[in-house]
Amino acid sequence: MHKSRLVSLLLLSLVLSLLLSGCEQQNSHEVNVYSARKEALIKPALDRFQTETGIKVNLVTGNADALIERLKAEGVASPADVLITVDAGRLHRAKSLQLTQAVDSEQLQTLIPAAYRDPEGHWFGLSLRARPIMYAKDRVNPADLSTYADLADETWRGRVCIRSSSNIYNQSLVASMVASDGVDAVEQWAAGLVKNFARKPVGGDRDQIKALAAGVCDVAVANTYYLFGMLSSENDAEVKAAEQVQVFWPNQQGRGTHVNISGIALTQSAKNPDNAVQLMEFLLNEESQSWYANVNGEYPIRDNTVVHPTLAGWGQFKKDAINLAELGKLGPEAVKIMDRVEWP
């Protein structure tokens, strides 16, 4: 080979090596996050992680299903290191599409109860999202309430508000009931519940709470953090509506109240896996868990975390101990049940 050509090739190789080294160095100081959580509900924690570790966090927010489809389309070229979303069913879907990978972290396994993490280590809960029954203080005696199943009783004819069957929270609730009671029993329950709707499902959980306060219905099923948000709102009308509502913890003599999670997974395409795992562990430390419980109004995954007085005022409750991986597995069956009973 001609000497000048050899020198040129060596110089080119050196330049490429330096460029690759620069890229690796840059990647070693960042982590890329795809989050289905609204920015206000996750960015403060990510900012704190960036400040304390020096690892730059690049955040992309969006609809959970859209982010999963984006990961699928991007494949191994995806820049995302972690996926954060707000339902175990969606985390299960990401895993089933082979978009996630297992994480071996003693800290995560120790801090997170087994029910709130994937048995194979593909996703981990960050906070709990309880979905109890709520009732109008001036129209309902809590002694008349007991279980989700009882909401299908004729006593509640025309008195129930709940979101549509397309809502992932309702799909997961029904999936949890299938795991406990079986398809036939849950289908019979769902048919009775639909008969008891005060109106055709419309809007989100806040809309169910507002309808409850306005007298459209007497009971509703909604996540507690929405009620928390209304009680702490700067909108006087929201506060006034929320103050007319109380929380009832169903199924306390049986399987417990249904809970879901906000959770996190390491993507299959992760280019910065060490930083990603460090972020996962950071979101489980005491300060992060306190932030979830006192700012977001969610229940912490970790035991012995002091929660906001509003949450404490609703009292302690027995949680359904089902492993939340079952919600993802049974979600399609739950949707079929809801379709068959014509749950709008």
pLDDT tens profile 1-54? 554 544 444 444 343 333 434 444 445 799 999 999 999 999 999 999 999 999
pLDDT at res. 2: 52
Please give the share of the chain, as a percent, with pLDDT higher than 70.
Answer: 92
Q: Could you tell me the CA-to-CA distances from 243 to 84, 96, 115, 227, 308 in Å, in that order? A: 32, 42, 33, 9, 17
- The C-alpha atoms of residue 227 and residue 247 are separated, in whole angstroms, by 9
- The C-alpha atoms of residue 298 and residue 293 are separated, in whole angstroms, by 5
The whole-chain average pLDDT of the chain stands at 93
Token digits for 150?
């009882």
Is residue 263 predicted with pLDDT exceeding 80? yes
- Other C-beta atoms lying within 10 Å of the C-beta of residue 251: 23
pLDDT tens profile 205-256? 999 999 999 999 999 999 999 999 999 999 999 999 999 999 999 999 999 9
Is residue 151 predicted with pLDDT exceeding 60? yes
Helix pair angle (168-181, 325-340), 10° resolution: 100
pTM of the model: 0.89
Residue with tokens 């960015």: 43
SS3 276: helix
Is residue 333 predicted with pLDDT exceeding 80? yes
What's the mean pLDDT in 102-118? 97
Please give the share of the chain, as a percent, with pLDDT higher than 90.
Answer: 91
Q: Could you tell me the CA-to-CA distances from 120 to 114, 116, 123, 320 in Å, in that order? A: 11, 12, 8, 20
- The C-alpha atoms of residue 315 and residue 225 are separated, in whole angstroms, by 14
pLDDT at res. 18: 38
Closest C-alpha among 73, 74, 70 to residue 85 = 70
Q: Quick one: pLDDT band at residue 275, thresholds 50, 70, 90?
A: very high
pLDDT tens profile 47-86? 999 999 999 999 999 999 999 999 999 999 999 999 999 9
